[in-house]
Amino acid sequence: MNSDSVRLLNIPVLPLRGVTVFPSVLFHFDVGRRRSVKALEKAMNQGQHIFLLTQRDNRVEDPEPEDLFEVGTFCMIKQILKIPGDSVRVLVEGISRGRVKSFRATDPFMVADIELVESKAPARRTKRDIAVIRSARELFMEYAGLVPRMNGEIFQSIMDSDDMGYLADYIAQNIQLKYQDKQRILELTDARRRLTEMVYVLQNEIEILELEQELQDRVKEQVDRNQRDYYLREQAKVINEELGEGEDTVSESQEYIERIKALSLDAESEEKLIKEARRLARMQSSSPETGVIRTWLDTCLDLPWHKVSKENGDIAKAAAVLDADHYGLEKVKERILEFFAVKTLTGGVKGQIICLVGPPGVGKTSVARSIARSMGRSYARLSLGGVRDEADIRGHRKTYIGAMPGRIITALRQAKTRNCLILIDEIDKLGADYKGDPSSALLEVFDSEQNVAFRDHFVELPFDLSDVLFITTANSMETIPAPLLDRMELIQLGSYTDEEKLEIVRRHILPKQIKKHGLRASTLKLDDAVLRLVITGYTREAGVRSLERQLARLCRKVAKYITETGKKSLTFTAENLHEYLGTPKFKQEKPIEIPECGVVNGLAWTQSGGDMLEVECALIKGKGKLELTGNLGDVMKESARAAITYLRSRVVAFGLPEDFHSANDIHIHFPEGAIPKDGPSAGITTATALYSAITGAPVGKDIAMTGEISLRGRVLPIGGLKEKTMAAFRNGVKTVLIPAENQPDLDDIDQKVREKLDFIFVSHMDEVVAHVFGCTVQVDIPKVEPELPELVGIAAPAQDRRPGVRQ
């Protein structure tokens, strides 16, 4: 029966994307679309026959009949395997070509009537046919030589077959062609024409593959040539190095070497630098190591190995600069001028480490900058607040990615001179963790015996730091490590008094803020009374930072006023100041207007300056209970107990009731309970308040006192006398009782304060009672006269020298 007339009905159709299957060839593919899986299921139930059609456009996800070619392959399903997911793998064998006559259904899968198409073999094989077959075989062998990984069974099948149709189909199935080209081969039913077309296709593919191979060969040849050139260059460098001609091979390396020799360093440093420069010349420019070497060489060569700035040798000029930049701070200025004097006599001062200690805002950083200007030295600053890594001081090893020098070397590069002034700010805020202790790294920097050859981990060359003047700043000495503290000379910067703040405002802050806000001196009118009100009512600090912010507010108010009104100036007075700055934040404590029993003015030191507070004492009938209130620390509580014990020991001398402590409950209170208070300097104040409460004698409103008391009534020295006396002056006190041992500290007190206050020096609590209450203490202590021997010539017994026995 002629196959042209064979017509098959209701055959499931499976669309293929980018794939074409030929008759008489085994082929496997994966199926994942729902309609295609259903078509397979139908085919398995209907004799395992299925018709495969290729899509015209493989981008169509759900093809319809018009999206498919008309000619396909009628196949027998050999095997179906489920693979992970919802897909199946199908192995089919092509039986015959076929053409779709009509589609019967498209859902849930395609069903069509097809007509099988017979491959037309030549009736008689000619010599031309034999030549075409041989050409096809030879071209395929040549094609296989250009395409790797060709299966050996394919060669055998092609060499064994003489069927022109089968040979064309088999070759088309096993070479890399576009599915459109394969479809064109499939639609050719004449075997002779099909194989001839296949020969043309093979020739075209071979030409393309040969061009690709030629391009690949050229690329490989270029790579091989570059590699060969690299090896030759490296060999030439080694040969030139052995001949002593390596320094001239690379201009960059030669430039580095010339710069190194121009520095005239010590032999060790110069040898290491030149070695790295020559190593740079031998390295390939694309190597990451070249960047590391360049960075290291640039860092080392930028250091001021011998560059020294010309310093100011005129001590009078230096003093003028310090006075112009800062008001007060006499101790700091004196110490710097002493440094000048010693340097003038000796020609140089090494190992001088100055630590400026004081509360925030008193001008420690600006003092260091002023010192550098007065000395004519370049200035560099580094802050150590929160630094926890030792590498921040000594740098990182250059072998690490992103390595950099430490802060000391970075500051030297910034200053550009070896005799610079380096300010190390916030040295009391150094930390330590698992990365190391940065304070230990500073020991070598500050030690004059070691810093002559300081080695940074990144630079790795010894650098002399002995000409550098280090100045450090700290808010507190307690957190500075002891070994580090031992290497520094401490200079205390106390808080500014109100008079000092007034002068600082007039000389520095106000002109600076006027210029900053685009004003003129005539547009802002402030007298001293208004400035004092700003200082006392709107700020309470040791320094002047908050004061500067308040003055900046006033400048902004003036700028707004003259812009809106067109007027040329604005005058601030004590009456209208609150309209611009608001209600004063700090109320000035009024002194006791009417003297009261049990209330005494005490003087206290705070971080923001001095303050005056009333100490109140009350006795209530009770059973001897002691109550201490006012947010007191342990030291202040112990001082109050010591005052009570002292009065108990002096009841006879003062004529006090012997049972005042047991028949009454004693309550001692320090006002402003929200503020923590501690320290022993309120001892004599507490004892005086308790004496007043017991005797009913009031204490004058113009008297204030400070001093520590012992159990035996001795008045011990205290600190912060400058700030305490300023608080007394500010609150209208006339007389201040201070320990006699603090008499030398009067030199530090403001001259105006010394002129207005009457100082009484006391060494015992009895003197305090006598001055405050105007009474004479009667001390009734019996004296025991020692019995002398009656016989002349008999020596008196020797004094007892045992430990603990006081003579």
790: left (phi over 0), alpha (psi -120 to 50) or beta: alpha
Residue 54, amino acid:
T
d(CA 187, CA 488): 99
Q: Kindly provide the residue ranges of all beta strands, DSSP E only, lying in 83-169, ordered along the sequence.
A: 88-105, 110-117
**DSSP symbol at 763:** S
**DSSP symbol at 494:** -
For residue 577, the Cα-to-chain-centroid distance in whole angstroms is 42
Quick check: is 237 catalytic? no
Q: In DSSP terms, which residues pair with 462 in a beta bridge?
A: 455
d(CA 197, CA 335): 105
Give the β-pairing of 7-16 and 49-54. Answer: parallel
Nearest to 458 by CA among 401, 419, 414, 415: 401
Q: Note whether 722 and 494 are within 8 A (CB).
A: yes
Catalytic residue chosen out of the listed positions 182, 681, 692, 701? 681
d(CA 772, CA 691): 11
Q: Note whether 72 and 98 are within 8 A (CB).
A: yes
Residue 607 contacts by C-beta under 8 Å, 6 or more apart in sequence? 359, 495, 542
Asked whether the bond before 108 is cis by omega within 30 degrees of 0, the reply is yes
d(CA 271, CA 397): 19
Q: Note whether 361 and 543 are within 8 A (CB).
A: yes
Nearest to 21 by CA among 73, 71, 57: 73
d(CA 678, CA 109): 94
Quick check: is 756 catalytic? no
What does R_g of the chain's alpha carbons equal in angstroms? 52
d(CA 398, CA 755): 64
d(CA 784, CA 793): 24
Neighbours of 765 (CB within 10 A): 25
Locate 320 and state its tokens: 């003028």
Catalytic residue chosen out of the listed positions 182, 237, 722, 724? 724
Helix 683-695 and helix 634-649, axial crossing angle in degrees, nearest 10: 50
Q: Kindly provide the residue ranges of all beta strands, DSSP E only, lying in 479-540, ordered along the sequence.
A: 489-492, 524-525
> Tokens 């009457």 sit at which residue?
758
SS3 state at 455: strand
Nearest to 459 by CA among 287, 254, 276, 278: 276
Locate 167 and state its tokens: 């040979």
Nearest to 374 by CA among 463, 471, 448: 471
Q: Note whether 170 and 22 are within 8 A (CB).
A: yes
**DSSP symbol at 403:** -
| Backbone CA torsion sign across 39, 40, 44, 48 | positive
Sheet holding 609-621, edge to edge: 626-629, 664-669, 609-621, 599-606, 703-705, 735-739, 758-762
| Residues annotated as part of the active site | 681, 724
